Amino acid sequence: MLVPKRIVAPAASILTLSEIKEHLRIEEDDDAENDLLQALIAVAETYLDGYSGVLGRCMITQTWRYSLYGWPSCRLDLPFPDVSSVIVRYRDDDDVEQILPESQYQVLEGACGSFVRWFDSFSGPSLYDRGDAVQVDMVCGYGDTAAEVPANIIHAAKLMIGAWYENRENIVISNLISQLPISVSAQALLATVRRVGV
C-alpha cells in the first residue's frame, strides 16, 4: 500500500479569522497580525488534520486516495475513520482504469475505523502489475462545515493558536529556560478523538 494522498481539500476551515480574534480578544484590525493569525489557523489544521495529523482523521469533509498493489482478502482497512463513501478503481490486465461496482462491497465503521468489506460474491478482477493497481477514493470527515466538528477539537485548536500567538518562539527565557509543550488542556481535549493504532 502507498501513502494516502489528499485529492480534494476541505472547502472550509475549522476556524475563521473573526472567531480566533474573538477568542484572543483582539479588536484592532492590523493586516500583519491578521496574516499571522491566518497562518496559525493553517498550522493548527495541518497539525491536527489528515493522514499526518496527530488525530489520524479528517475534520472537514475531504477526499483521499489510498492505493494498493492488489486485492485484500476479505476486507480493506481504510486509513481514516468517518468515511462516508468510497469509489474503488482498479487497473485491469490491459492497464485500463475500471470502476468496481458498488454492488461488490460495502463501507462499514468498525472499532478501529472504517473499512471496505467485500461481499461473498466478490472475486477480485485480474490486475495489471503496478504498485497502485487498486485505488480507493474515500470521502471522509465529520461534515462540510466547522459546526459539525466536535467542539473539543475546535477549542483545542483555539488553545494552541493562542499559545503560539502569545509565545512566538518555542523557548521561553526567564529564570529558567524551558521549551513550550503543547498545552495540557489541548492534549486533554484531543485525547478522546485521536485515532490510535491497535
Q: Which grid cell is 175?
A: 529564570
The pLDDT of residue 180 is above 60:
no
Q: What would the pLDDT profile of 101-153 be if each residue is shown by its tens digit?
A: 999 999 999 988 899 999 998 999 999 999 999 999 999 999 999 999 999 99
Domains of the chain (ranges plus CATH)? 5-58+146-191 (1.10.3230.30), 62-140 (no CATH)
Mean pLDDT of 146-174: 86
Instruction: Please enumerate in sequence order all residues whose Cβ is within 8 A of that of 49, keeping only pairs 6 or more positions apart, or say none.
Output: 10, 14, 55, 57, 58, 59, 60
Please indicate whether residue 187 or residue 130 has the higher confidence score (pLDDT): 130
Q: Is the dihedral of CA 156, 162, 168, 170 positive or negative?
A: negative
Going by pLDDT thresholds of 50, 70 and 90, the confidence category of residue 167 is confident
pLDDT mean over 37-48 = 94
pLDDT confidence of 10, banded at 50, 70, 90? very high
- Decide: 37 and 92 in contact? Cβ < 8 Å: no
41 or 179, greater pLDDT: 41
Structure confidence at residue 74 (pLDDT): 85
User: Under a CB-based contact definition with an 8 Å cutoff, are residues 152 and 187 in contact?
Assistant: no
Per residue in 52-99, pLDDT tens?
998 999 999 999 999 999 999 889 999 999 999 999 999 999 999 999
The set of cell numbers assigned to 15 is 476556524
pLDDT band of 163, cuts 50, 70, 90 = confident
The pLDDT, as a whole number, for residue 1 is 74
Which comes out higher in pLDDT, residue 87 or 180? Answer: 87
CA 151 and chain centroid, separation: 16
- At residue 50, the pLDDT reads 93
* Percent of the chain as helix, strand, coil, to the nearest 5: 30, 25, 45
What distance in Å separates the CA atoms of residue 192 and residue 79, rounded to the nearest whole number? 18
